[in-house]
Protein backbone atom coordinates (compact mmCIF):
# COMPACT_ATOMS: atom_id res chain seq x y z
CA UNK A 1 0.00 0.00 0.00
CA UNK A 2 1.25 3.47 -0.84
CA UNK A 3 1.91 5.98 1.92
CA UNK A 4 -0.81 8.60 2.49
CA UNK A 5 1.53 10.95 4.26
CA UNK A 6 4.91 12.35 3.37
CA UNK A 7 7.68 10.52 5.17
CA UNK A 8 11.26 11.56 5.77
CA UNK A 9 12.39 8.95 3.27
CA UNK A 10 10.54 10.87 0.52
CA UNK A 11 13.27 13.49 0.77
CA UNK A 12 16.29 11.27 1.21
CA UNK A 13 17.55 11.04 -2.37
CA UNK A 14 16.86 7.32 -2.57
CA UNK A 15 14.20 5.00 -3.94
CA UNK A 16 11.19 6.46 -2.10
CA UNK A 17 12.02 9.96 -3.35
CA UNK A 18 12.32 8.75 -6.92
CA UNK A 19 8.89 7.09 -6.60
CA UNK A 20 7.30 10.31 -5.30
CA UNK A 21 8.91 12.44 -8.01
CA UNK A 22 7.63 10.06 -10.65
CA UNK A 23 4.03 9.79 -9.57
CA UNK A 24 3.61 13.44 -8.57
CA UNK A 25 5.95 15.98 -10.12
CA UNK A 26 6.97 14.28 -13.34
CA UNK A 27 3.39 13.24 -13.95
CA UNK A 28 1.79 16.67 -13.57
CA UNK A 29 4.59 18.87 -14.85
CA UNK A 30 5.65 16.59 -17.71
CA UNK A 31 7.49 18.26 -20.58
CA UNK A 32 10.52 17.36 -22.68
CA UNK A 33 12.96 19.56 -20.80
CA UNK A 34 11.93 18.45 -17.31
CA UNK A 35 12.02 14.79 -18.24
CA UNK A 36 15.56 15.18 -19.56
CA UNK A 37 16.74 17.38 -16.68
CA UNK A 38 19.37 15.94 -14.37
CA UNK A 39 21.15 18.21 -11.90
CA UNK A 40 20.11 21.07 -14.15
CA UNK A 41 17.69 21.69 -17.02
CA UNK A 42 19.07 22.60 -20.41
CA UNK A 43 17.49 25.65 -22.06
CA UNK A 44 17.99 27.39 -25.37
CA UNK A 45 17.53 31.12 -24.89
CA UNK A 46 18.90 34.17 -26.64
CA UNK A 47 18.99 37.85 -25.88
CA UNK A 48 17.75 39.70 -22.81
CA UNK A 49 16.42 37.35 -20.15
CA UNK A 50 14.52 38.20 -16.98
CA UNK A 51 15.24 36.03 -13.89
CA UNK A 52 13.27 36.06 -10.64
CA UNK A 53 12.62 34.05 -7.49
CA UNK A 54 9.97 33.87 -4.77
CA UNK A 55 9.33 31.62 -1.78
CA UNK A 56 5.71 31.07 -0.79
CA UNK A 57 4.72 30.59 2.83
CA UNK A 58 0.99 31.43 2.82
CA UNK A 59 -1.20 30.32 5.73
CA UNK A 60 -3.71 28.79 5.38
CA UNK A 61 -2.38 26.77 2.45
CA UNK A 62 -5.85 26.63 0.90
CA UNK A 63 -7.90 29.84 0.69
CA UNK A 64 -10.94 31.01 -1.28
CA UNK A 65 -9.77 31.51 -4.86
CA UNK A 66 -6.59 29.51 -4.66
CA UNK A 67 -3.93 27.65 -2.74
CA UNK A 68 -0.17 27.87 -2.23
CA UNK A 69 0.44 26.05 -5.52
CA UNK A 70 -1.58 28.44 -7.66
CA UNK A 71 0.06 31.33 -5.80
CA UNK A 72 3.56 29.93 -6.36
CA UNK A 73 3.05 29.84 -10.12
CA UNK A 74 1.14 33.12 -10.49
CA UNK A 75 3.59 34.97 -8.24
CA UNK A 76 6.73 34.11 -10.17
CA UNK A 77 5.09 34.31 -13.59
CA UNK A 78 3.81 37.76 -12.65
CA UNK A 79 7.24 38.99 -11.61
CA UNK A 80 8.47 38.07 -15.09
CA UNK A 81 5.44 39.63 -16.78
CA UNK A 82 5.96 42.87 -14.82
CA UNK A 83 9.48 43.00 -16.28
CA UNK A 84 7.99 42.77 -19.78
CA UNK A 85 9.14 39.17 -20.14
CA UNK A 86 7.22 36.19 -21.43
CA UNK A 87 7.32 33.58 -18.64
CA UNK A 88 8.99 30.49 -20.10
CA UNK A 89 10.86 28.22 -17.71
CA UNK A 90 10.24 27.77 -13.99
CA UNK A 91 11.84 25.77 -11.21
CA UNK A 92 9.81 24.43 -8.32
CA UNK A 93 11.33 23.55 -4.99
CA UNK A 94 9.27 22.03 -2.19
CA UNK A 95 10.12 21.88 1.50
CA UNK A 96 7.54 19.60 3.10
CA UNK A 97 6.84 18.75 6.72
CA UNK A 98 6.93 15.05 7.56
CA UNK A 99 3.36 13.80 7.85
CA UNK A 100 1.94 16.22 5.25
CA UNK A 101 -1.00 14.74 3.37
CA UNK A 102 -0.08 13.36 -0.05
CA UNK A 103 -3.64 14.07 -1.18
CA UNK A 104 -3.25 17.75 -0.33
CA UNK A 105 0.17 17.81 -1.96
CA UNK A 106 -1.38 16.34 -5.10
CA UNK A 107 -4.07 19.05 -5.13
CA UNK A 108 -1.36 21.71 -4.81
CA UNK A 109 0.66 20.23 -7.66
CA UNK A 110 -2.45 19.95 -9.86
CA UNK A 111 -3.24 23.62 -9.21
CA UNK A 112 0.29 24.52 -10.25
CA UNK A 113 -0.06 22.59 -13.50
CA UNK A 114 -3.38 24.31 -14.23
CA UNK A 115 -2.02 27.78 -13.50
CA UNK A 116 0.97 27.15 -15.79
CA UNK A 117 -1.42 26.74 -18.71
CA UNK A 118 -2.42 30.42 -18.52
CA UNK A 119 1.06 31.60 -19.49
CA UNK A 120 2.43 28.52 -21.24
CA UNK A 121 5.40 28.49 -18.85
CA UNK A 122 6.93 25.11 -17.98
CA UNK A 123 8.44 23.66 -14.82
CA UNK A 124 11.83 22.40 -16.01
CA UNK A 125 13.67 21.59 -12.79
CA UNK A 126 12.91 21.06 -9.13
CA UNK A 127 13.96 19.95 -5.69
CA UNK A 128 12.17 18.22 -2.81
CA UNK A 129 13.15 18.29 0.84
CA UNK A 130 11.28 16.71 3.74
CA UNK A 131 11.86 18.08 7.26
CA UNK A 132 10.88 16.39 10.53
CA UNK A 133 7.44 16.96 11.98
CA UNK A 134 7.28 20.18 13.99
CA UNK A 135 10.15 21.97 12.23
CA UNK A 136 7.93 23.54 9.56
CA UNK A 137 4.24 24.35 9.37
CA UNK A 138 3.06 22.34 6.33
CA UNK A 139 4.82 23.20 3.10
CA UNK A 140 6.88 25.99 1.57
CA UNK A 141 7.31 26.31 -2.18
CA UNK A 142 9.97 28.26 -4.00
CA UNK A 143 9.53 28.99 -7.67
CA UNK A 144 12.17 30.75 -9.71
CA UNK A 145 11.78 31.56 -13.36
CA UNK A 146 13.29 32.90 -16.53
CA UNK A 147 11.64 34.50 -19.52
CA UNK A 148 12.51 36.39 -22.69
CA UNK A 149 12.10 40.13 -22.48
CA UNK A 150 9.46 41.21 -25.02
CA UNK A 151 9.08 44.83 -23.93
CA UNK A 152 12.25 46.55 -22.80
CA UNK A 153 12.63 49.45 -20.42
CA UNK A 154 9.82 48.80 -17.93
CA UNK A 155 11.10 50.03 -14.60
CA UNK A 156 10.09 51.53 -11.29
CA UNK A 157 12.40 54.38 -12.25
CA UNK A 158 10.64 54.98 -15.57
CA UNK A 159 7.46 56.66 -14.32
CA UNK A 160 7.21 60.03 -16.06
CA UNK A 161 5.57 63.21 -14.75
CA UNK A 162 2.05 63.36 -16.19
CA UNK A 163 1.80 59.55 -16.60
CA UNK A 164 -1.61 58.11 -15.84
CA UNK A 165 -1.67 55.60 -12.97
CA UNK A 166 -3.98 52.65 -13.60
CA UNK A 167 -5.03 49.61 -11.60
CA UNK A 168 -6.08 46.45 -13.42
CA UNK A 169 -8.92 45.61 -10.99
CA UNK A 170 -10.11 46.19 -7.41
CA UNK A 171 -7.40 46.09 -4.75
CA UNK A 172 -6.99 44.33 -1.41
CA UNK A 173 -8.87 41.10 -1.98
CA UNK A 174 -5.98 38.65 -1.44
CA UNK A 175 -4.97 40.16 1.90
CA UNK A 176 -8.60 40.33 3.04
CA UNK A 177 -9.25 36.81 1.93
CA UNK A 178 -6.26 35.38 3.83
CA UNK A 179 -7.28 37.30 6.93
CA UNK A 180 -10.79 35.86 6.78
CA UNK A 181 -9.55 32.36 6.08
CA UNK A 182 -7.51 32.26 9.29
CA UNK A 183 -8.89 29.82 11.79
CA UNK A 184 -9.20 32.33 14.55
CA UNK A 185 -11.70 34.41 12.57
CA UNK A 186 -15.26 33.36 12.00
CA UNK A 187 -16.17 35.86 9.28
CA UNK A 188 -18.21 34.72 6.32
CA UNK A 189 -18.05 36.31 2.91
CA UNK A 190 -18.07 35.54 -0.81
CA UNK A 191 -14.74 37.27 -1.20
CA UNK A 192 -12.12 35.32 -3.16
CA UNK A 193 -8.46 36.10 -3.66
CA UNK A 194 -7.46 37.88 -6.86
CA UNK A 195 -4.62 35.31 -7.21
CA UNK A 196 -4.09 35.00 -10.96
CA UNK A 197 -1.56 34.97 -13.78
CA UNK A 198 -1.17 38.46 -15.29
CA UNK A 199 0.76 37.52 -18.42
CA UNK A 200 -2.36 37.35 -20.66
CA UNK A 201 -3.20 40.95 -19.71
CA UNK A 202 0.37 42.13 -20.27
CA UNK A 203 0.50 40.36 -23.61
CA UNK A 204 -2.84 41.91 -24.64
CA UNK A 205 -1.50 45.38 -23.79
CA UNK A 206 1.62 44.72 -25.86
CA UNK A 207 -0.42 43.30 -28.73
CA UNK A 208 -2.64 46.40 -28.69
CA UNK A 209 0.49 48.55 -29.00
CA UNK A 210 -0.02 50.36 -25.71
CA UNK A 211 3.04 52.33 -24.60
CA UNK A 212 4.03 51.21 -21.09
CA UNK A 213 6.38 52.91 -18.62
CA UNK A 214 6.11 50.76 -15.51
CA UNK A 215 4.15 47.69 -14.39
CA UNK A 216 4.06 46.23 -10.90
CA UNK A 217 1.90 43.62 -9.25
CA UNK A 218 0.83 45.00 -5.89
CA UNK A 219 1.75 42.07 -3.63
CA UNK A 220 3.13 42.57 -0.09
CA UNK A 221 2.64 46.19 0.92
CA UNK A 222 -0.14 46.54 -1.66
CA UNK A 223 -0.84 49.59 -3.80
CA UNK A 224 0.77 51.84 -1.20
CA UNK A 225 4.16 50.10 -1.47
CA UNK A 226 4.15 50.19 -5.29
CA UNK A 227 3.28 53.88 -5.52
CA UNK A 228 5.81 54.86 -2.87
CA UNK A 229 8.50 52.82 -4.60
CA UNK A 230 7.71 54.56 -7.87
CA UNK A 231 7.89 58.05 -6.36
CA UNK A 232 11.28 57.22 -4.83
CA UNK A 233 12.77 55.51 -7.90
CA UNK A 234 11.34 57.88 -10.52
CA UNK A 235 11.68 61.10 -8.50
CA UNK A 236 8.09 62.10 -9.14
CA UNK A 237 5.07 62.77 -7.01
CA UNK A 238 1.94 60.64 -7.45
CA UNK A 239 -1.54 62.07 -6.94
CA UNK A 240 -4.39 59.66 -6.41
CA UNK A 241 -8.13 60.25 -6.16
CA UNK A 242 -9.15 57.99 -3.29
CA UNK A 243 -12.67 57.43 -4.63
CA UNK A 244 -11.25 56.30 -7.99
CA UNK A 245 -9.51 53.30 -6.37
CA UNK A 246 -11.73 50.28 -6.94
CA UNK A 247 -12.27 48.51 -3.60
CA UNK A 248 -14.95 45.93 -2.91
CA UNK A 249 -17.46 46.59 -0.12
CA UNK A 250 -16.29 43.44 1.70
CA UNK A 251 -12.71 44.73 1.70
CA UNK A 252 -13.83 48.16 2.89
CA UNK A 253 -15.85 46.55 5.66
CA UNK A 254 -12.99 44.37 6.83
CA UNK A 255 -10.60 47.31 6.83
CA UNK A 256 -12.99 49.36 8.96
CA UNK A 257 -13.34 46.46 11.37
CA UNK A 258 -9.58 46.00 11.79
CA UNK A 259 -8.37 49.50 11.15
CA UNK A 260 -6.45 48.49 8.02
CA UNK A 261 -5.69 50.72 5.04
CA UNK A 262 -7.04 48.90 1.93
CA UNK A 263 -4.12 50.26 -0.10
CA UNK A 264 -1.68 48.41 2.20
CA UNK A 265 -3.32 45.00 1.64
CA UNK A 266 -1.63 42.38 -0.53
CA UNK A 267 -2.84 41.43 -3.99
CA UNK A 268 -1.72 38.44 -6.04
CA UNK A 269 -3.22 39.13 -9.45
CA UNK A 270 -3.61 42.90 -9.58
CA UNK A 271 -1.19 45.20 -11.31
CA UNK A 272 -0.50 48.89 -11.21
CA UNK A 273 0.48 50.57 -14.46
CA UNK A 274 2.15 53.85 -15.35
CA UNK A 275 1.38 54.79 -18.95
CA UNK A 276 1.51 58.07 -20.89
CA UNK A 277 -1.74 59.97 -20.24
CA UNK A 278 -2.70 59.72 -23.94
CA UNK A 279 -2.48 55.94 -23.74
CA UNK A 280 -4.68 55.61 -20.67
CA UNK A 281 -7.99 55.02 -22.45
CA UNK A 282 -6.50 52.44 -24.80
CA UNK A 283 -4.90 50.62 -21.88
CA UNK A 284 -8.12 50.67 -19.84
CA UNK A 285 -10.07 49.27 -22.81
CA UNK A 286 -7.69 46.29 -22.89
CA UNK A 287 -7.69 45.81 -19.11
CA UNK A 288 -11.51 45.96 -18.93
CA UNK A 289 -11.74 42.94 -21.21
CA UNK A 290 -10.30 41.07 -18.20
CA UNK A 291 -11.81 43.02 -15.28
CA UNK A 292 -14.60 45.55 -15.70
CA UNK A 293 -13.43 47.58 -12.71
CA UNK A 294 -9.98 48.45 -14.10
CA UNK A 295 -9.54 52.15 -13.44
CA UNK A 296 -7.39 55.25 -13.76
CA UNK A 297 -6.73 56.29 -10.17
CA UNK A 298 -4.49 59.32 -10.61
CA UNK A 299 -1.35 60.63 -12.21
CA UNK A 300 2.32 61.26 -11.66
CA UNK A 301 3.55 64.85 -11.41
CA UNK A 302 6.65 66.99 -10.95
CA UNK A 303 5.16 68.43 -7.77
CA UNK A 304 5.37 66.78 -4.32
CA UNK A 305 8.33 64.64 -5.38
CA UNK A 306 8.75 61.41 -3.42
CA UNK A 307 5.25 61.63 -1.95
CA UNK A 308 2.02 59.82 -2.74
CA UNK A 309 -0.87 62.20 -2.13
CA UNK A 310 -4.43 60.99 -1.77
CA UNK A 311 -7.37 63.32 -2.32
CA UNK A 312 -10.20 62.03 -0.16
CA UNK A 313 -13.83 61.95 -1.31
CA UNK A 314 -14.33 65.09 0.80
CA UNK A 315 -11.68 67.02 -1.04
CA UNK A 316 -9.05 66.95 1.71
CA UNK A 317 -5.58 65.65 1.00
CA UNK A 318 -3.39 63.22 2.91
CA UNK A 319 -0.18 61.31 2.29
CA UNK A 320 -0.30 57.60 1.55
CA UNK A 321 2.89 56.35 3.19
CA UNK A 322 4.99 53.24 2.67
CA UNK A 323 3.38 50.59 4.91
CA UNK A 324 5.16 50.07 8.22
CA UNK A 325 4.98 47.20 10.67
CA UNK A 326 3.30 43.91 9.93
CA UNK A 327 -0.39 43.83 9.15
CA UNK A 328 -0.65 40.13 8.75
CA UNK A 329 2.09 37.52 8.47
CA UNK A 330 2.19 34.69 5.89
CA UNK A 331 -0.03 36.29 3.29
CA UNK A 332 2.03 34.99 0.39
68: three-class secondary structure by DSSP:
helix
20: three-class secondary structure by DSSP:
helix
The verdict on 61 binding a copy of itself (CB under 8 A) reads no
Nearest Cα to Cα of residue 117 among 62, 155, 76, 73: 73
CA distances from 80 to 43, 95, 200 (A): 17, 23, 12
The verdict on 259 binding a copy of itself (CB under 8 A) reads no
Name the minimum Å distance from CB 42 to a copy of itself.
6
Complete edge-to-edge strand list for the sheet that includes strand 139-149: 122-131, 85-97, 139-149
Residue 322 has what DSSP assignment? P
Q: Report the residue from 5, 54, 110, 304 that binds a copy of itself according to the rule CB under 8 A.
A: 54
Q: Report the residue from 1, 2, 4, 39 that binds a copy of itself according to the rule CB under 8 A.
A: 39
The verdict on 136 binding a copy of itself (CB under 8 A) reads yes
Name the minimum Å distance from CB 207 to a copy of itself.
21
The verdict on 176 binding a copy of itself (CB under 8 A) reads no
The verdict on 185 binding a copy of itself (CB under 8 A) reads no
Residue 296 has what DSSP assignment? E
- Nearer of residues 124 and 164 to a copy of itself, judged by Cβ: 124
The verdict on 160 binding a copy of itself (CB under 8 A) reads no
Contacts to a copy of itself from residues 223-252, by CB under 8 A: 225
Name the minimum Å distance from CB 47 to a copy of itself.
7
Contacts to a copy of itself from residues 86-115, by CB under 8 A: 89, 91-95, 98
- Nearer of residues 54 and 110 to a copy of itself, judged by Cβ: 54
CA distances from 230 to 38, 274, 276, 300 (A): 41, 9, 15, 9
Q: Report the residue from 28, 174, 213, 216 that binds a copy of itself according to the rule CB under 8 A.
A: 216
The verdict on 220 binding a copy of itself (CB under 8 A) reads yes
Q: Confirm if 254 and 180 have CB atoms less than 8 A apart.
A: yes
Distance CA 88, CA 123 (A): 9
Amino acid sequence: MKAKEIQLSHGSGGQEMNDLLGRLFYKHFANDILLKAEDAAMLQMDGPIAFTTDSFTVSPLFFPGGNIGKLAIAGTVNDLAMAGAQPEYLSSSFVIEEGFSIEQLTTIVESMAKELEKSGAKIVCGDTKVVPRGTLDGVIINTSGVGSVKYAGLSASNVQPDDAILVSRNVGSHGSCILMARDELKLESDLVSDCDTLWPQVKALMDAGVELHSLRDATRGGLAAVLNEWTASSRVGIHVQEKAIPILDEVHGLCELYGFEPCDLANEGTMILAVPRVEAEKALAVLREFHSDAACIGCAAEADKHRVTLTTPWGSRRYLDMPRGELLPRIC
